[in-house]
């Protein structure tokens, strides 16, 4: 007997991706307003490592996109959103406000889900997992570098004004 066929890939993004995006971008409501923020801008308040940690968590959506075999143009857009958030998020204070407004993870979830709803994809091949880990590692290292530079600039500015 031939081996059973693999189950079809789910249509749309998997539920955990939506939960992750909400946790990072909109899990906390601000009292008296309709504005919501998540862990991403709060983690950004931790000098040096906060933005790298937020980028690491957000890169799980990028890894899912790689795993699901989305085209390179969409991967570039998802990575661009994540990198823009990490780069501008590394600016003390203003970057955290940007992260709270931009909501890169929610944007990435919406892009990924919309694409997957309309394009059934074949099951991923094993090499795509290695590429996913490599791309995620690159994004995290870049975000960590930006965070370290921002921290050094912040310390230098603090010395100038003290």
Where do the domains of the chain lie?
Answer: 15-161
- What's residue 123's pLDDT? 54
Beta carbons within 10 angstroms of residue 101's beta carbon: 10
- What's residue 6's pLDDT? 57
Q: What is the pTM of this model?
A: 0.74
The stretch 129-145 carries a mean pLDDT of: 67
Query: When comparing pLDDT for 1 and 105, which is higher?
Result: 105
Closest C-alpha among 144, 159, 156, 142 to residue 47: 144
The stretch 4-27 carries a mean pLDDT of: 83
The stretch 55-70 carries a mean pLDDT of: 89
Q: Evaluate if residue 100 carries a pLDDT over 60.
A: yes
Angstrom distance (rounded) from CA 11 to CA 8? 9
| Beta carbons of 112 and 20 less than 8 angstroms apart | no
């Amino acid at each position: 007997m031939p081996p059973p066929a693999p189950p079809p890939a789910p249509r749309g993004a998997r539920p955990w991706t939506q939960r992750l995006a909400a946790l990072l971008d909109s899990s906390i409501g601000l009292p008296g307003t309709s504005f919501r923020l998540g862990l991403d801008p709060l983690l950004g308040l931790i000098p040096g490592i906060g933005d790298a940690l937020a980028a690491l968590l957000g890169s799980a959506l990028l890894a899912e996109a790689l795993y699901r075999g989305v085209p390179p143009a969409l991967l570039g857009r998802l990575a661009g959103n994540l990198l823009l958030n990490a780069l501008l998020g590394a600016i003390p204070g203003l970057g955290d406000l940007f992260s709270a407004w931009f909501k890169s993870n929610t944007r990435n979830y919406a892009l990924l889900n919309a694409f997957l709803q309309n394009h059934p994809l074949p099951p991923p091949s094993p090499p795509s997992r290695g590429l996913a880990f490599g791309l995620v590692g690159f994004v995290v290292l870049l975000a960590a570098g930006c965070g370290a530079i921002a921290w050094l600039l912040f310390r230098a500015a603090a010395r100038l004004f003290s």
